[in-house]
Amino acid sequence: MEASTNQTKQNTILEKNQLNPQTKRLKIYAPDIAEKAKAGQFLIIRVHSNSERIPLTLSNWSKSEGAVTVIFQEVGFSTTELGALKVGERLQNLAGPLGNPSEIRNYGKAVVVCGGVGTAVAYPVAKALKEAGNTVITIMGARNKDLFILENEVKAVSDQVYISTDDGSKGQKGFVSDILKGLIAKEKFDIVFAIGPPIMMSVIADVTRPFGIKTIVSLNPIMVDGMGMCGACRVSIGGQTKFACVDGPEFDAHQVDFKELMQRLKCYTSEEKCSLQLNQKVGGTCTCHN
């Protein structure tokens, strides 16, 4: 009877929270995934039978509850569709954990740099680094004070936390890269993990490269199946083609072709806008090509 009940609960939304005006958190019943999940891995979610697949990195998981947590911004139709689900409703499909986990060991002194919703990915990495015995310094950034997420959780697993905002409404005015530059000028670090918008990760790679500091980034290219079959998530690493879903999602930042990554991320911008407009029934038509 218990097994039957658990099967009925599979993929059910257990909790839903609004973290800021743009960001939501879902806790999902998925005991098989929770049992095997590690920092740095991700899920592929399909909301309904006719929905597209959405890759989302695991932000947290609990073996005892049999639950996994994802955090996402509603930026297009598919994430808006996901955000519309209510507690008690079920996802059509949930696959994972996918991708290679973060390479966690005791490096010594580790810096975790995160921007915006990238904090959801950075939190389990920082937690795992701390549990492995590292001194963890976390640098959090956002456009303004209202867009921070998981601040208390990050502080709980970090020895020091630095905060920056583009507009100066919280912490230091400026960018996470500015804080990292200042810290590197004063002390030695053994590794840097950077997770956030591609432009931010690219700048962090430029900051650490002259000092030879090992720097790891989690890439977020367009992804379809998450299992290496479609090739949509290809990225150039050290002049070689890799698939982020099976070869990553984490790579050596100093080897990533960020220019190509950012160009590829823009490939379907107009189509994504059209899809959102059509599904929201904006006059029943797509206006972006008119």
92 with 214, same domain? no
Domain ranges, residue 258: 109-265
Residues 222-244: b if buried by 16+ CB within 10 A, e if exposed: bbebbeeeeebbbbbbeeeebbb
Confidence bin at 268 (pLDDT 50/70/90): low
35 with 140, same domain? no
15 with 136, same domain? no
Is residue 180 situated within a structural domain? yes
Q: Which CATH number is 187's domain given?
A: 3.40.50.80
Choose the final residue of a domain: 98, 123, 150: 98
Is residue 21 situated within a structural domain? yes
147 with 181, same domain? yes
As a whole number, the mean pLDDT across the chain is: 90
Mean pLDDT of 128-141: 98
How many angstroms separate the CA atoms of 162 and 277, rounded?
A: 39
258 with 117, same domain? yes
Place of tokens 């083609």: 241
Is residue 51 situated within a structural domain? yes
168 with 81, same domain? no
Closest CA to 129 of 66, 184, 195: 195
184 with 135, same domain? yes
Q: Rounded to an integer, what is the distance from CA 252 to the centroid of its chain?
A: 17
Q: What is the pTM of this model?
A: 0.87
Reported as a single tens digit per residue, the pLDDT across 60-92 is 999 999 999 999 998 888 899 999 999 999 999
Is residue 210 situated within a structural domain? yes
